[in-house]
Amino acid sequence: MIQQFVFVLVSLTALAFAGKQFLRIRRNILLGKDAAVEPGQTAQRWQNVLLVAFGQQKMFKNWIPAIFHFFIYAAFLLTQVELAEIFIDGIFGVHRFFAPLLGGFYTFIINFIEILSVAAFVATLIFLSRRNLLRIPRFQKAEMKGWPTRDANLILLGEIVLLTGIFCMNGADVLLQQLDPDHYPATGTLAVSSWLGPMLFGSLSEPALHVVERFGWWLHILTVFAFLNYLPYSKHLHIILAFFNTYYARLKPRGEMDNMPEIMNEVKSMMGIGEPTNTDTIPEFGAKDVPGLSWKNVLDAYSCTECGRCTAACPANLTGKKLSPRKIMMDVRDRAEEIGKKLDSGSPDFIGAEWKDQGGVTLSAENFDDGRSLFDYIAREEIHACTTCNACVEACPVLINPLDIILQLRRYEILTESAGPGDWLPLFNSIENGGSAWAMSVDRDAWVRG
């Protein structure tokens, strides 16, 4: 009874704290402005979820790491069956609740989980080696120094702890089924634990086996709770958000850029086919900060796996330029986190000057202004280097679009700030004066009049 009480208390505490953190992430994502979801095409969206998120389709463009990643992913999915049983056992004070109900099918499920767990253990060791011994180039970029590398290693080490809990629990359980069959239902012959358990724990007494079995049981569930609460601070948040991100991914052709309504209305007005635009206020083109991006852009940032496939495919990065699409996504997420923390502080120091003059205003997302922007994270040189080739968009395994964010930052710099690289000015002048990217002494359409 004491164990049930402790289990329920720990579970409620862990789930409540995790829920609070996930609500914080949701709030940060919604700092972005509303984005119109393309109507219809629901079937295509669910196809993306099934093939890209569930099926890991794009991972297999690089098939060797994809196979090892699939082992960990499949083991993670199937162990949820055992996790559900642990919850039932913990709440109701029973043991192996599903074993008597499912019989031989239960043995099949646990065997499948154990085989996948061994494969996941091997994959984890390989991934640790790739990051720390083989030093794969895309994991050694400047943006991966410090916390991003530690984060990846912590998750992989956590995977080993999780598997240790599973095999301690199952291995001791196999022996206890023989010593105390009334309390430990038969699971049948298990692919790994039936020989690993006797090999590791065969010399232990029955009380010691009880300790090992409970140790593995608690280690497994506590690791799951720790992982759940760690997710909001980790790149591994993608194991949840990737499903949402693939559903809401852009369905238009990748080369099609979104028009700016303000520009379209101005052009139509000049051509006499639209209403005159309001000249009282100057519109802000593009985006300079997270609130200027769409919530989908911010969701992209939080869904980033930091795998670096986008950066590895980027021709600008390959030629030594400063641009790294992965860093762009990490910077957007870091800025969203910074804004979120400052909003949580409630400090009036972060209320915009025009709002402070009104008096009695409390800090909110609408009046927030800390004097910083994404340009404090992302250098102008980075966004200038982009060739808009869409290589990063094509490479992403969860359908993230770094290019859209880069374009919005460039639009803000050029159209709102009237800034930009000096060597781009001749291009702009030629387009404005002659309708051509090249400086020409005659009008571009002069040949038609001839």
pTM of the model as a whole: 0.91
Contacts of residue 108, defined as CB under 8 A and 6 or more positions apart, other chains included, come to none
In whole angstroms, give the CA distance from residue 324 to residue 312.
9
Q: What type of residue is 424? A: W
- Note the pLDDT of residue 278: 63
- Name the nearest CA neighbour of 258 among 406, 404, 387, 393: 404
316 pLDDT above the threshold of 70: yes
The sign of the dihedral angle between the CA atoms of 202, 205, 208, 213 is positive
Q: Quick one: 221 exposed, middle or buried, by C-beta within 10 A (0-12, 13-18, 19+)?
A: buried
Q: Which of 29-33, 99-103, 440-444 has the highest mean pLDDT?
A: 29-33
Q: What type of residue is 180? A: D
- Note the pLDDT of residue 321: 95
Q: If you average pLDDT over residues 258-280, what whole number do you get? A: 73
- Domain coordinates of the chain in residue numbers? 2-30+62-247, 261-422
What tokens does 172 get? 């001791």
Contacts of residue 446, defined as CB under 8 A and 6 or more positions apart, other chains included, come to none
Q: How many CB atoms lie within 10 A of CB 446?
A: 11
SS3 273: coil
How confident is residue 419, by pLDDT bands cut at 50, 70 and 90?
confident
In whole angstroms, give the CA distance from residue 176 to residue 274.
81
- Note the pLDDT of residue 410: 95
Q: Which residue is listed with tokens 């083109």? A: 285
Percent of residues, the chain, with pLDDT higher than 90: 72
- Note the pLDDT of residue 276: 63
pLDDT digits 0-9 by tens, 125-152: 999 999 999 989 999 999 999 999 999 9
The domain 261-422 is classified under which CATH number: 1.10.1060, 1.20.1250, 1.20.1740, 1.10.357?
1.10.1060
- Name the nearest CA neighbour of 196 among 89, 128, 117: 117
- Note the pLDDT of residue 450: 63
294 phi, psi to nearest 5 deg: -85, 160
CA–CA–CA angle 30, 27, 54 (5° rounding): 75
CB contact at 8 A, 367 and 350: no
Q: Quick one: 378 exposed, middle or buried, by C-beta within 10 A (0-12, 13-18, 19+)?
A: buried
CB contact at 8 A, 374 and 288: yes
The sign of the dihedral angle between the CA atoms of 178, 179, 182, 183 is negative
- Name the nearest CA neighbour of 187 among 178, 436, 317: 178
Q: Quick one: 271 exposed, middle or buried, by C-beta within 10 A (0-12, 13-18, 19+)?
A: exposed
In whole angstroms, give the CA distance from residue 86 to residue 447.
79
Q: What type of residue is 164? A: T
Q: If you average pLDDT over residues 104-112, what whole number do you get? A: 94
In whole angstroms, give the CA distance from residue 254 to residue 41.
16
Could you tell me the CA-to-CA distances from 113 to 25, 57, 104, 110, 193 in Å, in that order? Answer: 31, 22, 14, 5, 11
